[in-house]
């Protein structure tokens, strides 16, 4: 069983993950188009009506902080940022994972001590619990939550939970380890085809598509 899930099944899930992600990116490209700015609006060339004073620059900074996610929803901003950092850092930098990669292909990423990885996992799971509690108690979140949202949260948390159990050798090690690999594979496969697809959507849309809230000056727009 273990040989199967770490062998062919792993390859299949990697294949699905990468091709699915590529497909999603391609989809986003085909649904949007680049809008070239060919004319400079006369107003853009004109200098600002009045020079911005140092005080006003400071005020603009305060206001742009206030408008940011951190200013508007500090708890959500911090928790979700930490959640996503751990989501990537813990599996990619884990010593055990890197050892496996090294054994297979002779390469490895930078790895972090097991203890630190354990801490990241705990933080990640704590954040996941925060999201779960939020989904169960905050009225506005309840209003848009469906069983699907809980499932997606579970799919994301499951590999971490099983990895945590495996590291601490809780329950039957062999079973837990197999469960860890399988849940990880489920998550990989789920990314391109479920709500987890926001991984691709977020970067594509907020960077490349222009809008009031885009990072930088996105030149793309949805095709009409």
Partner 1 sequence: MNDSQQKKAEAEKTRAVLNHNQAKIKLCLEACASCSICAESCFLFNNNNHDPRFMPSYKVINSLGVLYKKKGRVGTEQLKRMQDLVWRNCVLCTRCYCPLGIDIPDLIALARSLLRTRGVCGVYPHTLGAPEEEYIMEWDPQELSDPDEDPDTQR
Partner 2 sequence: MVKAEIKQLQEIKTSVIGYSSILITGCGGCVSVCLAGGQKEVENLVTKLRLSCKADTAPKNIGGMTVERQCEAQFLSQLDQEVPKYEALISMACGAGVQYLAERFPDKPVFPAVNTAFIGINKDLGWYEERCQACGDCVLGITGGICPVTMCAKGLLNGPCGGPQNGSCEVSKDIPCAWVTIYDRLKAQGRLNNILDIFAVREWQNQTQGSIVLDAYKSRYTGEKK
List of residues contacting partner 2 (CB under 8 A)? 35, 37, 41-44, 49-50, 55-56, 59, 62-63, 66-67, 210-212, 217
Binding status of residue 201 toward partner 1 by CB under 8 A: yes
Region of 2-10, 11-19, 23-31, 33-41 interacting with partner 1 (CB under 8 A): 23-31
Burial class, 43, CB count within 10 angstroms (exposed 0-12 / middle 13-18 / buried 19+): exposed
Region of 11-19, 58-66, 183-191, 198-206 interacting with partner 1 (CB under 8 A): 198-206
175 binds, among partner 2, partner 1, none (CB under 5 to 8 A by kind): none
How many Cβ atoms from other residues are within 10 Å of residue 127's Cβ? 21
Nearest to 160 by CA among 191, 134, 190, 122: 122
36 binds, among partner 1, partner 2, none (CB under 5 to 8 A by kind): none
**Rounded to the nearest whole angstrom, what is the least distance from the CB of residue 224 to partner 1 in the complex?**
9
Position of tokens 């954040």? 127
- Here's the x/- map for partner 1, 48-87, by CB under 8 A: it reads as ---------------------x--xx--x---x-------
- Here's the x/- map for partner 1, 142-181, by CB under 8 A: it reads as xxxxx--x--x-----------------------------
Three-state secondary structure of 32-72: EEECCCCCCCHHHHCCCCCCCCHHHHHHHHHHHHHHCHHHH
Binding status of residue 139 toward partner 1 by CB under 8 A: yes
* DSSP-H helix ranges across the chain: 2-6, 8-31, 42-45, 54-67, 69-72, 74-93, 95-105, 114-137, 139-144, 147-167, 173-193, 198-208
Q: Are 21 and 191 in contact (CB under 8 A)?
A: yes
**Rounded to the nearest whole angstrom, what is the least distance from the CB of residue 210 to partner 2 in the complex?**
5
């Amino acid at each position: 069983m273990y040989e199967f899930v770490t062998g062919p099944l792993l390859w299949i899930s990697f294949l699905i993950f990468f091709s699915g992600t590529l497909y999603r990116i391609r989809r986003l490209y085909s649904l949007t188009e680049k809008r070239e700015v060919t004319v400079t609006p006369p107003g853009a060339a004109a200098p600002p009506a009045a020079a911005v004073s140092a005080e006003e620059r400071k005020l603009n900074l305060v206001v742009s902080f206030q408008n940011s996610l951190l200013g508007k929803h500090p708890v959500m901003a911090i928790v979700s940022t930490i959640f996503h950092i751990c989501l990537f850092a813990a599996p990619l930098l884990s010593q055990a994972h890197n050892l496996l990669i090294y054994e297979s292909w002779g390469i490895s990423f930078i790895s972090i001590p097991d203890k630190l990885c354990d801490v990241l996992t705990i933080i990640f799971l704590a954040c996941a619990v925060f999201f779960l509690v939020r989904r169960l108690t905050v009225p506005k979140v309840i209003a848009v939550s469906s069983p699907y949202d809980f499932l997606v949260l579970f799919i994301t948390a499951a590999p971490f939970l099983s990895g945590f159990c495996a590291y601490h050798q809780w329950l039957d090690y062999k079973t837990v380890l197999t469960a860890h690999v399988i849940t990880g594979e489920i998550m990989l496969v789920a990314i391109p085809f479920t709500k987890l697809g926001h991984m691709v959507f977020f970067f594509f849309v907020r960077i490349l598509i222009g809008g009031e809230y885009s990072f930088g000056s996105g030149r793309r727009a949805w095709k009409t």
